[in-house]
Amino acid sequence: MGPSRSFQNLLLLLLPLALALCSAAASGEASRRFWVENDTFWKDGAPFQIVGGDVHYFRIVPEYWKDRLLRAKALGLNTIQTYVPWNLHEPKPLSWEFKGFTDIESYLRLAHELDMLVMLRVGPYICGEWDLGGFPPWLLTIEPTIELRSSDSTYLSLFPGGQMVGSTTPKNRTTIIQQWRSYHHGAGKSIIENEFGSFGDDKNYLHYLVEVARRYLGNDIMLYTTDGGAIGNLKNGTIPQDDVFAAVDFDTGSNPWPIFQLQKEYNLPGKSAPLSSEFYTGWLTHWGERIATTDASSTAKALKRILCRNGSAVLYMAHGGTNFGFYNGANTGQNESDYKADLTSYDYDAPIREYGDVHNAKYKALRRVIHECTGIPLLQLPSKIERASYGLVEVQKVASLFDVIHNISDTLKVAFSEQPLSMELMGQMFGFLLYTSEYQEKHSSSILSIPKVHDRAQVFVSCSLGDVRKPRYVGIVERWSSKTLQIPSLSCSSNVSLYILVENMGRVNYGPYIFDQKGILSSVEIDGIILRHWKMHPVSLNAVGNLSKLQLIMQMTDAEASKVSIYGDSENKSQDVSLYLNEGISEEPAFYEGHFHIDSESEKKDTFISFRGWNKGVAFVNNFNIGRFWPAIGPQCALYVPAPILKPGDNVIVIFELHSPNPELTIKLVKDPDFTCGQ
């Protein structure tokens, strides 16, 4: 990536906005404008009705960006909305990413080529059922603790663009601002916070965001907020005195026009074009719930009530996509322990399904309504995307986590501490962290207590002088349930080694508990005594495709080592390991590998991996993290595998199963999604 392109893309992240309306205007067409007047949106001197929909570039493999935008255009949309997650683009402080999934410039260019406006929700906060609401988790390591979404001076200095207020803009950045503004439709349209009224009432924060936005985009840019269509939300989240337009969102069961009338009270006279900035076509689903669905007919009728009276609406979602990797968000209820993580699938019951299908009742019903109310011509429906069933795939166990923990933990990141450290302080922003310590056991069983663990801990024990690569599974301590666990006596001749594998299941993205650190966040007690002297291993899953080669080397090494006794006292050795020789391990985190062959490029098709019979874990296809599976609780049974991830020839699937695999050691590659597990 050349310097000019890097700076241009960097600017997109420096804009401290939650929503910016960009257009396909070519450079030099400064006369083109977008504004609001007489309670109407105007574009190029004519009234304009926003018929938009969310299509998030980071939830779609880049090879499918154009396909999904074409399907949105065929739905009748003239506008695309997308968040820009700060955490994806700045995973480490001042380390920016703009390639692959993060190549936002290419995504905007595609929308430009298709003559679609783009509502760009840049942040710093996006919500979006995305990990930490889009905030990078390294913010959680700042001391003293910062207050997110507030006028906290440290926070303001860290979010993209905030540090530039009051400084002199370098000449080269000024040039790039003008280049970026060429994507805008004249003045453009920019939101400064996403549903802030349901979070707080810090007006100084909102005023500051306006100041930053004006600095970067000029005084002619039309700024606006979006909040739920209720008095309290609008009162807290709007700032009409700054000439900031107030949009509203509400559920499809609400009567839109009384809410649009309320919206007028929080806008300047003549500046209140009716806009539902999030018209919900479906809803999110957490693990353990039934898959959320909404009726196609009632959804279409609700949209008709807006569009046929010349109101504007943005479908949330038009196309949901997938929470690949570890980026799913989570929600809480009455307290932070009432934790609910989102599925890997972000299908959202949207008209364009997770795998791109548009031949469904909801897509067709919404398409008819959009055409009827707006007169937007009906384009030909895109063809169906072919999907393949590659059949049954046998897998084999490659290694237990405890076999390879020293090989997949960066020795420079392994840490020692008197008390357990959070994942963030360990530099382990996503995935798993293994905590180890020792204690002196009693003759009877012991009680383990972890008052605060985020989010799910698997506990194992072994005799410290025994086979520490084969610890015994004890049980689970979960954020949302019991925080204590009974540990049986091992009758060790030495101390007991304690192993706690903690999974970060996704950070909270909405509400008062958004400051969501992960790992063990309290002391750990055995029978009321605080354990000290912890060793922490970050679990790296970046190269799981090499585990089979690693295990082959380890087996050869172990064969040599078995010829030499490493114990001075063979009696102690037999005493310590006899437990494991007699009892096998029913559950252990382990890696499994399977292969399937694709004959040619033309045979590459979308597919789904069914994990029925498996328990919980993460799956990788050709070293690409396709997400978490948890069929034991459901409702999602299968993970989506887009064709661009596959390749002609040998394709490798690696599964990190946290408990026990399908007893037949098989998975199945099928054509269709399945949301009926655990029901």
Q: Which residues are catalytic?
A: 195, 278
The count of other CB atoms within 10 Å of the CB of residue 145 is 13
Q: Hey, what are 601's tokens?
A: 């490029």
Cα 572 from Cα 242, distance rounded (Å):
77
| HEC secondary structure over 519-580 | EECCCCEECCEECCCEEEEEECCCCHHHHHHHHHHHHHHHHHHCCCCCCCCHHHHHHHHHHH
Q: With contact defined as beta carbons under 8 Å apart, do 229 and 235 qualify? A: no
Q: Is 589 helix (H, G, I), strand (E, B) or coil?
A: coil
Cα 10 from Cα 2, distance rounded (Å):
12
The count of other CB atoms within 10 Å of the CB of residue 81 is 25
Closest CA to 490 of 442, 434, 450, 448: 442
Which residues have a Cβ under 8 Å from the Cβ of 239 and sit 6 or more positions away?
203, 206, 207, 210, 225
Q: 622 to each of 228, 343, 534, how far by Cα in Å?
A: 42, 22, 35
H-helix or E-strand containing 37? strand 34-37
Cα 424 from Cα 376, distance rounded (Å):
49
> What's the distance, Cα to Cα, between the start and end of the chain in Å?
48
Identify whether 429 is preceded by a cis peptide bond (ω within 30 of 0): no
H-helix or E-strand containing 237? helix 231-237
Which residues have a Cβ under 8 Å from the Cβ of 330 and sit 6 or more positions away?
286, 339, 340, 341, 342, 455, 505, 506, 507, 508, 509, 516
Q: Is 662 helix (H, G, I), strand (E, B) or coil?
A: coil
Identify whether 269 is preceded by a cis peptide bond (ω within 30 of 0): no
- At 352, which amino acid appears? I
The count of other CB atoms within 10 Å of the CB of residue 155 is 19
Cα 75 from Cα 299, distance rounded (Å):
14
Cα 601 from Cα 481, distance rounded (Å):
48
Cα 667 from Cα 641, distance rounded (Å):
14
H-helix or E-strand containing 43? strand 40-43
Q: 25 to each of 31, 104, 186, 370, 454, how far by Cα in Å?
A: 10, 17, 8, 24, 47
Q: With contact defined as beta carbons under 8 Å apart, do 646 and 621 qualify? A: yes
Q: Per-residue DSSP letters for 338-352? A: SEEEBPSB--TT-SB
Which residues have a Cβ under 8 Å from the Cβ of 331 and sit 6 or more positions away?
286, 339, 340, 342, 508, 509, 510, 511
Closest CA to 76 of 384, 382, 376: 376
Cα 526 from Cα 570, distance rounded (Å):
30
- At 481, which amino acid appears? S
